[in-house]
Amino acid sequence: MSSKWVSRIGSSRPDRPLLLVFPHAGSGPSAYQRWRTVVPLEVEVLAVRFPGRETRIREPLVPDVETLVKETADGLAEILQGRRFAFLGHSVGSLVAYELALLLRRQGLPGPVCLGVSGYPAPQVRIPDPLHEVPDEKLLSFLLERQYVPRSLLSQRGFLQMFLPILRADFSLAGTYRLRAERPLECPVHAFAGASDVFADPEELRGWAALTEAEFSLDLFPGDHFYLFDRGDDILRKVTKPLL
């Protein structure tokens, strides 16, 4: 498997079911490499790499969900063909994973056997703040206040010049998104959250239950928006169980 769209987390297991991970705002697959020691042996885990980040840094960023999901569906088509798979999104990655599941269904293609959503309110519950429109200074203040980035990075001008446009594009995915009328998914939806996450009240994640006709669950863990990096084994075990 060689594709600019994904990076493998853990060992290569192309003959086994697949879990696709959709990263949080401003990030890419490299953030999830810390999970490589807890990937279940029975599955292969690939993290999605969107345009404009990591090895795709020279490609244009995509700031709207509809365009990004269409491009992602095309980019992942060969990878998904003939395999059983599940989706797991964190933060705005949850929104992209959900919309991709809907698009596959509209195209008459097999969809995920399970959707995991983490740290993101159900899209019908709350319209996110338009953070992609605020000035840099206000955006950085917001991120520091909520511990999204360490203060030490503020002095790294090169990092900020690269990071802020990516983050704005990802915040635009949320800020410009509007939920369309769709029938609920047929697959289970499992939601996860950090109990002290300031970006997503765990109660707001309960709204995901309305977006599936199948099983729904919500698991809360100690921690903030980035709780999941310490609970990879628990999360991966739950979202991959329907694959086995």
pLDDT in tens, 32-79: 999 999 999 999 999 999 999 999 999 999 999 999 999 999 999 999
Q: What is the pLDDT of residue 129?
A: 67
Q: For residue 127, give the nearest of 56, 188, 179 by alpha carbon.
A: 179
Q: What is the pLDDT of residue 49?
A: 97
Q: What is the pLDDT of residue 39?
A: 94
- Which residues, at least 6 apart from 53, have a Cβ–Cβ distance to it below 8 Å? 27, 28, 166
Q: How does pLDDT run across 118-140, given as a tens digit for each residue?
A: 999 999 986 666 676 677 777 77
Q: What is the pLDDT of residue 205?
A: 94
Active site (catalytic) residues = 91, 225
d(CA 111, CA 127): 26
d(CA 199, CA 195): 11
Is residue 7 helix, strand or coil? strand
Q: What is the pLDDT of residue 150?
A: 61
d(CA 120, CA 131): 15
pTM, 2 dp: 0.93
Q: For residue 17, give the nearest of 1, 49, 33, 41 by alpha carbon.
A: 41
d(CA 11, CA 43): 9
Which residues of the chain carry a pLDDT beneath 50? none
